[in-house]
Structure 1
Amino acid sequence: MNTTELPDLKLLQLFDLLYDVRSVTRAAEQLGQSQPTVSIWLGRLREHLQDPLFIRTPGGMAPTPQADALIGPCREILESLRRFTAWEIAFDPATAKRRFRICMTDASHITLLPRMLAHVREHAPGIRLEAARIDGNTERALESGEADLAIGHVPWLGGGIYQQQLYMQDWICLANRRHPRLRAKLGLKQYRAESHVAITAGTGAQLLEQALTREHIERDVVLELPGFLGLGAIIRSTDLIATLPRHIGETLAEVNDLAIHTCPVPVDRFAVRQHWHARYHQEAGNRWLRAMVVQLFGNPT
């Protein structure tokens, strides 16, 4: 046997077929080739394996002892190649045992995570979710597989990161329903005059600050918060105003019985997207996770 070169795949397929049909003519028909071509392939295979492999007899092409010995390994190779070309690690959410780590903002802890958890507990009880921060380490975590997904407004993520838009966010203002000076529409003049809570973290906060600078508006900020924890209770118990993205704003308003006002400042809308690394684009578990997020929150308009 020539050990320096592997036989072509088509020669192994011919060997497998010829062993069953015992006829060069029938093998040629099933392979869609001419009989002379198949005869040439058989000659090359005989030369490669240094054995006649099949001997012409009145009953057809009879395999030699060498062919009998090689048919098993040949079929193992072909089956391995078939599994290789159709390879995909199975992921059944109903039975899978796995942890998914999702980078998200604290606003998403309030608006997205409860629905995700409810869906997972119903449809994938063996799955464990872990929420992590979006920060300067997020891109590296997605690349290494330390994190599976990032959800939010993260325009600074670099190359190799796929993204899919989920929904658009505009801006609203929240106030106490019994605010002593707010009975109807919140106008720009009153917005300037009132005292505010400012959320200082996140790219959304940067968009708001850019809009305030562009419109030459300086708010009377009496409280700064690094996130949304406790914001609803503060608005409910004071006469302060908060300006924040609609999704988290409407959620806090419903939970805390707050009044929602149209934001009088023209702040740029932004897209909330899910992000994942190209290394895991075809990975079955990651695909399931992304499909779940789209099912729960997808609304690209």
Structure 2
Amino acid sequence: MDKDLDLLDIKLLRLLDQLYTTRSVTRSAEALGQSQPTVSIWLARLRKQLNDPLFVRTAEGMLPTPRTDALMGTVREVLGGLQRLAESGVEFDPPTARRRFRICMTDASHITLLPRLLSHVRAVAPGVALEAGRIDGDLARALQAGEADLALGYLPWLDAGFYQQTLYGQDWICLANARHPRVVSESGDDWNLDVYQAEAHIAISSGTGYQLLDSALASHQVSRRVLLELPGFLGLSAILSTTDLIATLPRHIGETLARSTGSSGLRVLPCPFEIPGFTVKQYWHARYHHDAANRWLRGVCAELFIKSGSSP
């Protein structure tokens, strides 16, 4: 070659990755452990080397240019390769590690699993940060690319190229106001399928497990009068505890919500018809099966959610 290639500094590649993920100079600086002025200087250097603005300030944050969109696949491939080189043969040491893990999960797991996981990680690995990612159509690609480290939930479509480990099983229950005027007598004799069909309901539209509920309603020819549909569990306990509506949901999230409201808030009722159960698992891509940090994270989840039966 006639002249030396002007290679990009690894820290500049990491900045490009962070800016693309966060759309924020401030958040990128925090993630990289640098001051905001330093990150601004690095970004200026990147723009000069690549001869492109790379990111443009908008009301929605720092949005990437088409050149940046085109570069990101290569940038993340290079970063992943360098990380694997650096970690090859090196054990993960939780007390001294500085690492961010992205774990994809449903909003139910934000309530049932994430608090315990965060508490444990802070105690044994204070330099480790967690990020809760969404479960969506991009999940398989994100796990394969290393953009997500782990997925927790009921995800039967993750098969080829993925490992999985069962954490716990789930069946279904109903939740109602503890002072519900028709369905919460001490004997429980006033709760049956006819009453279930006569009452008004809240439906939760998120989560793959709800396909099982919808199929069971259809197969048993159970009618349900839905007055409110929610995209997730945010606000569910507050609505149930102040109305006479009924919710049908997996046992783990239902019992967790009931405990959080106290004995006077919500009451757990048996589901009056049969809904197939399912298993909550952790999933990871085969590329990271032997990665020391990923193995540690999987071991933590197994320790917390298998041995204790997932109960707090």
Verify: 1:101 aligned to 2:106, yes or no. Answer: no
1:206 aligns with 2:211: yes
Using the alignment, how far apart are the partners of 2:270 and 2:181 within structure 1?
18
Deviations 1:179-209 (A, max 9, x none): 0001225211100100000001111111000
The residue that corresponds to 1:110 in the other structure is 111
Deviation at 1:134, TM superposition (A): 0.5
Question: For 1:64-75, what aligned pairs fall within 5 Å after superposition?
Answer: none
Counterpart of 1:23 in structure 2 is none
Contact 1:89 1:283 (8 Å CA) reproduced: no
Q: CA deviation at 1:223?
A: 0.1
The CA distance in 1 between the partners of 2:204 and 2:246, in whole Å, is: 11
Matches within 5 A, 1:154-165: 154-165=155-166
State the partner residue of 1:72.
none
Q: In structure 2, list runs of 5 or more residues that go unmatched.
A: 1-84
Distance 1:195 1:107 in 2: 22
Instruction: For 1:92-171, list aligned pairs within 5 A.
Output: 92-171=93-172
Kindly indicate whether residue 299 of structure 2 is the aligned counterpart of residue 291 of structure 1.
yes
Letter in 1 for 2:123: E
* Structure 1 alignment gaps of length 5 or more: 1-83
Paired with 2:226 and 2:90, the residues of 1 have a C-alpha distance of 53
Q: RMSD of the TM alignment (CA)?
A: 1.5
C-alpha separation in 1, matches of 2:133 and 2:275: 28
Q: Residue by residue, what CA displacement relative to the aligned partner does 1:18-58 show, whole Å, maximum 9, x if unpaired?
A: xxxxxxxxxxxxxxxxxxxxxxxxxxxxxxxxxxxxxxxxx
What is the alpha-carbon distance in structure 2 between the residues aligned to residue 289 and residue 264 of structure 1? 38
Counterpart residue number, 1:259:
267
1:239 is matched by which residue type in structure 2? D
TM-score (norm: length of structure 2): 0.68
**Code of the aligned partner of 1:255:** S
Partner of 2:198: 193
Report runs of 4+ in structure 1 exceeding 3 Å deviation. none
Structure 1: distance between partners of 2:258 and 2:274: 21
- The one-letter code matched in structure 2 to 1:296 is L
Partners of 1:139 and 1:158 within 8 A in 2: no
Question: Which of residues 271, 290, 294 is equivalent to 2:279?
Answer: 271
Q: Aligned partners of 1:203, 1:116: CA distance in 2, in Å?
A: 22
Indicate the residue corresponding to 1:54 in structure 2. Answer: none
Secondary structure, aligned partner of 2:269: strand
Cα distance between partner residues in 2 of 1:88 and 1:113:
30
Give CA deviations for 1:111-150 in whole Å, capped at 9, x if unaligned: 0000000001100000000000111100000000000000
For 2:155 and 2:288, how far apart are their aligned partners in 1? 19
Q: Equivalents in 2 of 1:173, 1:292: separation in Å? A: 31
Q: Could you say what secondary structure the match of 1:203 adopts?
A: coil
* Count of matched residue pairs: 216
Structure 1 residue 243: Cα displacement = 0.2
SS at match of 2:275: coil
- For the 8 Å contact 1:175–1:258, the answer to whether it is kept is yes
**What is the 5 A alignment of 1:42-61?**
none
**Other-structure match for 1:216:** 221
Aligned residue in 2 for 1:48: none
Q: Equivalent of 2:243, from 231, 238, 241?
A: 238
1:229 paired to 2:234: yes
Give 3-state SS (helix, strand or coil) of 1:237's partner: coil
**Normalization by structure 1: what TM-score?**
0.70
2:244 is matched by which residue type in structure 1? D
Aligned-pair CA distance for 1:90: 2.1
